[in-house]
Amino acid sequence: MGITDTPEEWQVTATATPFVGNKTSVRTDEVVMPDGSTVKRDYQVHPGSVAVLALDEQGRVLILKQYRHPVRQKLWEIPAGLLDIPGENPLHAAQRELFEEAHVKAEDWRVLTDIYTTPGGCDEAIRIFLARDLSEAEGERFAVSEEEADMEFARVPLAELVRGALAGELHNNCLVVGVMALSAALASDGLTALRPADAPWPARPFEA
């Protein structure tokens, strides 16, 4: 019997949305527990995200450094962004983010891993893609603003990022999970065993 997460939904007797923001909201559900009691659970409702671990021919990962106000730090990250449209194809969103943030395109795409960022307080689901066979994108660079106008870029060997994550020097969840997943894939069945880019994603169903 394999170890796998399973879908389940406990009874909700009441729900409210005390806050609605630009992209996310906060919801309060009254949930029936196994012992019959009812408790309130507050959580952020999130559209979902995609992230791209872009690996070049020299085994380096494309990363960017961006200011994140909630944690008051500039974090090294991999390109990532929201699913802007309900039901949006995550591969198309990932290709868009790689172009907009790094002005790079990739010919080979695979699903690296799927995660929930903070399932105790947010329903955000992220699909992390592996992108290879990289090249500079054609046309003009995407116009950036706000935090993105201050981004730094680098290409760093995978082993150095793994070391930095284990040393507590790198903290972005997509970067840490992505480099660890890639390292594990390389050490086991190889990259050809990864799921195809259009693999089903029950957390955020989409049309091909």
Task: Give 186-204 pLDDT, tens digit per residue.
Answer: 999 999 999 999 999 999 9
CATH 3.90.79.10 positions along the chain are: 49-196
> Which residue is listed with tokens 């105790």?
120
Predicted TM-score of the model (pTM): 0.93
Task: Give 141-162 pLDDT, tens digit per residue.
Answer: 766 656 666 889 999 999 999 9
66: β partners: 75
What's the CATH class of domain 49-196?
alpha beta
- Catalytic residue selected from 8, 100, 107, 148: 148
Q: What is the pLDDT of residue 145?
A: 59
Per-position pLDDT tens, the chain of length 208: 689 999 999 999 999 999 999 889 999 999 999 999 999 999 999 999 999 999 999 999 999 999 999 999 999 999 999 998 888 999 999 999 999 999 999 999 999 999 999 999 999 999 999 999 999 998 777 666 566 668 899 999 999 999 999 999 999 999 999 999 999 999 999 999 999 999 999 999 998 7
Spatial separation of the C-alpha atoms in residues 53 and 49, rounded to whole Å: 14
Q: What is the pLDDT of residue 147?
A: 63
Residue-by-residue DSSP string for the chain: -----------EEEEEEEEE-SS-EEEEEEEE-TTS-EEEEEEEE---EEEEEEB-TTSEEEEEEEEEGGGTEEEEE--EEE--STT--HHHHHHHHHHHHH-EEEEEEEEEEEEES-TTTB--EEEEEEEEEEEEPSSSPPP--GGGGG-EEEEEEHHHHHHHHHTT----HHHHHHHHHHHHHHHTT-GGGSEETT---TTS----
Please say if 124 is a catalytic residue. no
